[in-house]
Amino acid sequence: MTIRVLAAGDHFVQNRLLIDALRRAVPGEVDFRELTLPWPLEPFGRVGEVDEASDVESELIEALRGVEVCVTQMAPLTKRVLDASPDLRLFCVSRGGPVNANLEAAARAGVAVTFAPGRNAVATAEHTLAMLLAATRRIPQTHADLAGGVWRGDYYTYDNVGPELEGNTAGLIGYGAIGRRVARMLEGFGAEVLVHDPYVASAPNQVELPELLERSLFVSLHARATPETTGLIGAAEIAAMPRGSVLVNCARGALLDYDAVCDALDSGQLSGAAMDVFPEEPIPPGSRLLTTPNLVMTPHLAGASKETAMKAAAIVAADVARYVRGEPLAHVATP
Q: Are residues 34 and 160 in the same domain?
A: no
Residues 137 and 276 in one domain: yes
pLDDT, average across residues 167-190:
97
| 134 found inside a domain | yes
pLDDT recorded at residue 150: 97
First to last CA, the chain: 27
Q: Average the pLDDT over 320-329 and give the result.
A: 97
Residues 238 and 318 grouped into a single domain: no
Residue 267 lies in a domain: yes
Strand segments, DSSP code E, in the chain are 2-8, 29-34, 45-47, 50-53, 69-72, 90-93, 112-114, 169-173, 192-196, 218-221, 245-249, 270-275, 295-297
Q: Are residues 46 and 182 in the same domain?
A: no
Q: Are residues 241 and 231 in the same domain?
A: yes
User: What mean pLDDT do residues 1-8 have?
Assistant: 94
Residue 65 included in any domain = yes
Task: Please give the pLDDT value at position 229.
Answer: 96
When pLDDT is cut at 50, 70 and 90, the band that residue 202 belongs to is confident
User: Which is nearest to 178 in space by CA: 318, 314, 283, 276?
Assistant: 276
Claim to verify: residue 102 and residue 166 sit in the same structural domain: no
pLDDT at 60 over 80: yes
pTM of the model: 0.92
Give pLDDT tens digits for 67-114.
Answer: 999 999 999 999 999 999 999 999 999 999 999 999 999 999 999 999
**Quick one: 139 and 287 in the same domain?**
yes
> The domain spanning residue 185 has which CATH number?
3.40.50.720
Average pLDDT of the residues of the chain: 97
Same domain, 230 and 130: yes
Average pLDDT (263-291) is 97
- Residue numbers of the domain that contains 86: 2-119+305-325
The mean pLDDT of 285-309, rounded to a whole number, is 97
Residues 220 and 152 both lie in one domain: yes
pLDDT at 123: 98
Q: What is the CA radius of gyration of the chain?
A: 22
Tell me, yes or no, whether 113 and 129 share the same domain: no
Residue 335 lies in a domain: no
Give the mean pLDDT of 177-204: 96
Residue 330 is assigned to a structural domain of this protein: no
Distance between CA atoms of residues 131 and 125, nearest Å: 10
Residue 198 lies in a domain: yes
pLDDT in tens, 132-145: 999 999 999 999 99
Q: What percent of the chain has pLDDT over 90?
A: 97
Instruction: Give the per-residue pLDDT at 1.
Output: 76
User: Both 115 and 125 in a single domain?
Assistant: no
Is residue 332 in some structural domain? no
Which of the residues are catalytic?
A: 252, 281, 300
- The pLDDT, as a whole number, for residue 29 is 93
**Stretch 58-75: mean pLDDT, rounded?**
98
Determine the pLDDT at residue 201: 87
> How many domains are there within the chain?
2
Q: Rounded to 5 degrees, what are φ and ψ at 47? A: -130, 115
In terms of domains, do 185 and 243 share one? yes
**Residue 75 covered by a domain:** yes
